[in-house]
Amino acid sequence: MRIRFFALASLAVLSTLAGCSSPTSTNATVSTTESPSASTVTGSPSIGHVFVINLENKSYGETWGPDSVAAYLNGTLRPQGQLLEQYFGIGHASLGNYLAQVSGQAPNSKTQSDCFQFVEFNQTGTGDYGQALGEGCVYPPAIKTVADQLTSAGKTWKSYQEDLANSSTEPKTCRHPMIGTADATVGARQGDMYTTRHNPFVYFHSIIDSPSCADNVVDLSALSSDLASEATTPNLTYITPTLCHDGHDAPCIDGQPGGLTSADQFLATTVPDILSSTAFQTDGMLIITFDEAELIGDHADSSACCNTPRSPNAPNPGLAGPGGGRIGALVLAANVAPASVNATPYNHYSLLCSIEDIFDLPHLGFAGAPGLACFGNDVYGN
């Protein structure tokens, strides 16, 4: 299918900002939907369909640098969108980043270790910015996600997980371990490389206890038919490839190269259908990012940005530091200038508050923390 190309527009020169600095804007306004404190908001885009693709464990230089093997991402997609060059993960390892992206909840000791045991979150109280105090994996019903918000607002969402339906013994939708049992999907299996820890929605009782989970947490194979019309395309489309196609494994259990090479091939196969869909052509925005920078022992990039408050449950969200390192993100939409670069510091909490702003939703968790930048005129300036 033909990929949509956007007309080039003139850009204002962006000031270079340090990765840990707090962005400012002379025309910034404060959202009235935040609680308990305001994030920085500078734009009100006309976007009705948001697509998010998360890849795995790649530092900024490997993905976006001159020696990157991601030829489709850099050669085809990057000229069509804006590169957020100061976009950071919020911690290590994987799961805490995914949970932050959909709920605003900060890591705890269990989610930092990817919840190999699928245990309940034992909540002992509620801290600032709606942070659940305690430890564990599966959050109680009162802890909400952007999916719950969208449903309450009459909007739609789906989590499309590659290989979700490939188990011969597990459900074909809303798949997750039984509470209190080991997560058998931590490593890839022949013919089934789905992993629970890259599917954040199933860590919330507000979702898995509802019959609608079976309709909303589905295999990636359902995406093609849903994209066939605007009416069947969810307002939020959340896509996670397999452990091979997201760049996590290298080589893969089935002999594929894995790493950034297989991740780029996945994008080349999947993204054209999104960009040519009626929903995207009408009012869509696509964000492609990574969960965290590569974590290799003491050499982990644990840098952070955006004045994120201290996690009440994990003194060092980045294990060796405050964050998940610099990863970068690419944003494509009609009102995002093509072939542009943005130096404003953002992280996964920023992505959550940006999605919430698009749909006029309150800010959950650390997405409502003061000083955090949500996407504004710097992104939607075309």
Q: What is the pLDDT along the chain (382 residues), one digit of tens a residue?
A: 333 333 333 333 333 333 333 333 322 222 223 333 346 655 556 999 999 999 999 999 999 999 999 999 999 999 999 999 999 999 999 999 999 999 999 999 999 999 999 999 999 999 999 999 999 999 999 999 999 999 999 999 999 999 999 999 999 999 999 999 999 999 999 999 999 999 999 999 999 999 999 999 999 999 999 999 999 999 999 999 999 999 999 999 999 999 999 999 999 999 999 999 999 999 999 999 999 998 776 667 999 999 999 999 999 999 989 999 999 999 999 999 999 999 999 999 999 999 999 999 999 999 999 999 999 999 998 8
Quote the CA–CA distance of 153 and 134 in Å, as a whole number: 29
Quote the CA–CA distance of 317 and 96 in Å, as a whole number: 8
pLDDT confidence of residue 145:
98
Residue type (1 letter), 364? L
pLDDT confidence of residue 300:
79
Q: DSSP secondary-structure letter at 73? A: I
Quote the CA–CA distance of 285 and 335 in Å, as a whole number: 9
Does residue 30 lie in a domain region?
Answer: no
Quote the CA–CA distance of 293 and 65 in Å, as a whole number: 14
Tell me the H-state helices in the chain. Answer: 60-64, 71-72, 94-103, 109-112, 146-152, 205-208, 213-216, 223-226, 259-275, 278-283, 348-358
Task: Specify the pTM.
Answer: 0.89
CA gyration radius for the chain?
19
Residue given tokens 């890849």 in the structure block: 55
- Tell which residue, 355, 300, 360, has the closest CA to residue 329: 355
Does residue 3 lie in a domain region?
Answer: no
Residue given tokens 């997980």 in the structure block: 161
Does residue 14 lie in a domain region?
Answer: no
Does residue 284 lie in a domain region?
Answer: yes
Q: Are 77 and 332 in contact (CB under 8 A)?
A: yes
Does residue 268 lie in a domain region?
Answer: yes
Does residue 8 lie in a domain region?
Answer: no
| 125-131, Cβ contacts within 8 angstroms, sequence gap of 24 or more | 127/312, 128/36, 128/309, 128/312, 129/36, 129/37, 129/104, 129/309, 129/365, 129/366, 129/368, 129/369, 130/35, 130/104, 130/364, 130/365, 130/368, 131/105, 131/106, 131/311, 131/312, 131/313, 131/365, 131/366
Does residue 261 lie in a domain region?
Answer: yes
Quote the CA–CA distance of 364 and 70 in Å, as a whole number: 33
CATH code for the domain of 140: 3.40.720.10
Q: Domain range for residue 200?
A: 35-368
Q: Are 324 and 88 in contact (CB under 8 A)?
A: yes
Q: Which residues contact 201 (CB under 8 A, 6 or more apart)?
A: 102, 145, 147, 159, 207, 213, 216, 217, 238
Number of domains in the chain: 1
Does residue 1 lie in a domain region?
Answer: no
Cis peptide before 93 (omega within 30 of 0): yes
